[in-house]
Structure 1
Amino acid sequence: MPDGADGADGDGERRPGGVAAGTAIVVAHGFTGSVDRPAVRRAARVLSRSAAVVTFSFRGHGRSGGLSTVGDREVLDLAAAVAWARSLGYRRVVTAGFSMGGSVVLRHAALYGAAYGARYEPAYGAANAGGARERAAAAVDADTPERRPTVGARRRCGERRWPHADTPEPWLAADARDCRTDAVAAVSAPARWYYRGTAPMRRLHWVVTRPVGRLVGRYGLRTRIHPRDWDPVPLSPVAAVPLIAPTPLLIVHGDRDPYFPLDHPRMLAAAGPSELWLEPGMGHAENAAGDALLGRLGDWLVRA
């Protein structure tokens, strides 16, 4: 069960792959999703025609421990899942995120990527000096090899801090190369935080910010939400995009998305090097992504 890099208990699975045996696709679900939701399982099944697939539940979702921070500390859960995939021997690990998961894969690609890491290369390289020995010592739990990453993977991705105080998110690990992604696809992702321009997003904000709403989330949606506001506010998706290059980036959005209108994907695509797919007739996230789109998505992630 992939645990967050800060120790939050996780829940995840690996699905053996299709044609690209050396590639693993890590799937990041949307808010109120989980590894057991039918839409997530269907997405994993279709993507597995292209490559191996790792799915997991973010903190506070499904059987995972902890409390959801609605896209903030979830970047550590994704980083741990990516490191787990690398510990299993995959040469390429790529990420695909939906809605909240889309915002998480964008921030993850920026914060653990080449452009950002290079800014701190001397300290970064020194901190990684023992990484080869740590990777060699890492092993998947023998009793549940499909459902638990190593403790080493979690530690490499979040328990140590960046050595510079001026980083946007200083709780990230200094030793992060095993946590990086080789390509990233964000589906139905927001461009900016605190958006309330649609009725579904106003309802979501009520669930997240009100005590009664959080009770609805816990008992009605199987999602346990942290009661505190973000402090500090995490790097926004649109601010993350310029930091992702040279990692290949794909933005996918439906023209009938009831949560985020088309200015969101266009803003993301304009912020940095990327490919943009605007899908006619598509709604929101994994529930609306058809098998044909998921097949194209898997093929793009393998080729990118």
Structure 2
Amino acid sequence: MSTGRAGHAARSTVRPHSETSRRTPLRTFLTTVDGVAIDSVYEPGAVVYDTSRPPAGDLVFVVAHGFTGDVDKPHVRRVARALARYGAVVTFSFRGHGASGGRSTVGDREVLDMAAAVRWARGQGHARVVTVGFSMGGSVALRHAALHAPDAPDAPDAQREEDAHAGAHTDAVVSVSAPARWYYRGTAPMRRVHWLVTRPEGRFVSRYGFRTRIHHRDWNPVPLSPVEAVPGIAPTPLLIVHGDRDGYFPVDHPRMLAAAAAGHAELWLEPGMGHAEHAATDDLLARIGRWAVGQGG
């Protein structure tokens, strides 16, 4: 991990902040285990300085945006501001999004991006990490929690050893508006997303219209799906949030995820809510923040 612009030589190594220096947000590029530069921002959060709320002082949220989002998008910054009332916040741009390097694999290799952000969050001195993902980011949060646990059966031995020592695991997971399964085309918005991802002209529009560079290769092999990942998350606390008016993924998706958790997860079906960050109200984000604080015992 190093500071500086992507593609430039690193000049310094990121270290845990002192109490004085961590009052200021820090922006840096992280390097994933497969060598991709990820644009990231660490914000200490108002709770760090609120001595009346010490139980949350060790908490940091790692926020994963949806497809075509990035760390500078207003809806991502709004989520960060809301969660900063309950702990520190790390936001980042997935590969292929915004200023990050690489190309989007639409939920596959993005698990490595989240792992890099979680490691960095722990490196700032926080004992508890809660990952919060929206839409594609929600699917990544679910898969990350299963694949980056120290005893994850589907992770390579070398990766499990590295994660156990580097702190890439999460302590609680919040998935908002996530799909349960891959290749879903049952709604008009998802058919448009598939056009962006699979067609050359769609990838052109995505690159220059949404600042999102998508890899042209199909998945090979097809990665573990969110619903297949969920059973591997336990005993890590899991919250599944979904709107009953989600235009991308109908409510059978969160119900499938909750069923796969076999009683381990909480499911919040939000009346009148649409899709992902744009539809998440300040009240919902506050409830998510309080839920996360409550997982600390």
Pick the TM interval, shorter chain. 0.7 to 0.9
Question: Residues of 2 paired with 1:248 and 1:163: CA distance?
Answer: 24
Query: Residue 301 of structure 1 is aligned with which of 279, 289, 292?
Result: 292
Question: d(CA) in 2 for partners of 1:24 and 1:43?
Answer: 13
User: Residue 26 of structure 1 aligns to a residue in which SS?
Assistant: strand
Q: Does 1:222 align with 2:211?
A: yes
Partner deviation per Cα, 1:57-112 (whole Å, 9 max, x = no partner): 00000010100000000000000000001111101111000000000000000011
Q: 3-state SS of the aligned residue for 1:76?
A: helix
Give the AA of the match of 2:39: D
Kindly report the root-mean-square deviation, in angstroms, between the aligned alpha carbons of the 2 structures: 1.4
Residue 240 in structure 1 maps to residue 229 in structure 2: yes
Alignment of 1:63-74 (within 5 A): 63-74=99-110
Alignment check: 8 A CA contact 1:3 1:11 kept? no
The alpha carbon displacement at 1:173 in A equals 5.1
Deviation at 1:189, TM superposition (A): 0.2
Q: Could you say what secondary structure the match of 2:31 adopts?
A: coil
| TM, length-normalised to structure 1 | 0.82
Distance 2:156 2:238 in 1: 25
Distance (whole Å) between structure 2 residues aligned to residue 176 and residue 252 of structure 1: 27
Q: Secondary structure of 1:2's match?
A: strand
Quote the offset at 1:163 in angstroms.
3.1
Quick check: 1:97 aligned with 2:84?
A: no
The one-letter code of the counterpart of 1:2 is: L
Whole-Å separation in 2 of the counterparts to 1:173 and 1:39: 34
Residues 214-239 of structure 1 show CA distances to partners (whole Å, capped at 9, x for unaligned) of 00000001100000001111100000
Please, which of 162, 168, 179 is the counterpart of residue 175 of structure 1?
A: 162
- Which of 284, 298, 301 aligns to 2:275? It is 284
Q: What does residue 123 of structure 1 align with?
A: none
Matched, 1:112 2:101: no
Q: What does residue 16 of structure 1 align with?
A: 44
> Structure 2: which amino acid aligns with 1:292?
D
| Unaligned stretches of 5+ residues in structure 1 | 121-160, 165-171
**Partner Cα separation in structure 2 for residue 174 and residue 217 of structure 1:** 37
Matches of residues 245-284 of structure 1 in structure 2 within 5 Å?
245-272=234-261, 273-284=264-275
Identity %: 67
Q: Give TM-score scaled by structure 2 length.
A: 0.83
